[in-house]
Amino acid sequence: MKNTSVIPLLDQWEKFIEENPQKDIYAFANWLLASKQDQIRESGPPESGKGVENAVQAAILITRLQRYLGMYVKPAIKALGFTREHEYNFLYQVSKMNNPNKNDLSKENMVEFSTGRDIIRRLILKNLVSEKVNPDDKRAARLHLTAKGRKILDKSFDMIAETFTDFLGDLSLKEQVQLITLLNKLNKYQALKNNREILSYL
């Protein structure tokens, strides 16, 4: 293991104390971090580290955007009578997929089959989705929207559309298309890498 000298750190401490005689060790740590970040911005990260840094930053941003999305959507989802977002997602995907079975719908949502089965059961109890025997495979049932399910879904489009009016912020139409293109590309890559089905309705 390579030994690292503490002398440069002590030199930095002396410089900091000289400029900030009233500050403590915690302020020094923040000052040191800020100085390091300034150096990185000026010189740029090492080529080998750019990919990792970009991936981390992208993951953080996507996670934050997902939370913002939840802030926009949750009130509308609750007003429609759903207890969880997954219930609405399942209902929406039943309308977009070609009469899926329970297993395919669960895969589409990237949840365990047992979890998907419970969500579908709740939708059936609410009379939003119905099951019909698959004529090609008597053991498998196909899922269909009920009239009530279609009515709720149509109502949701208007409600959620209002919440989405500024989700893409001040992006131009060209930038919006670029964003969607890049997200689709990333989604396809991750789906193939993780042996997942690519969303059939995208």
Q: Residue 93: phi, psi to the nearest 5?
A: -75, -30
pLDDT given at position 200? 53
Amino acid code (one letter) for 93: Q
Burial class (CB in 10 A: 0-12, 13-18, 19+), 94: buried
pLDDT tens for each residue of the chain, 202 residues long: 455 555 666 677 677 777 777 766 667 676 777 776 666 555 555 555 667 788 888 888 888 888 888 888 888 888 888 888 889 999 999 998 888 888 888 888 888 888 999 999 999 999 999 988 877 776 678 899 999 999 999 998 888 877 777 788 888 889 999 999 999 888 888 878 776 655 555 5
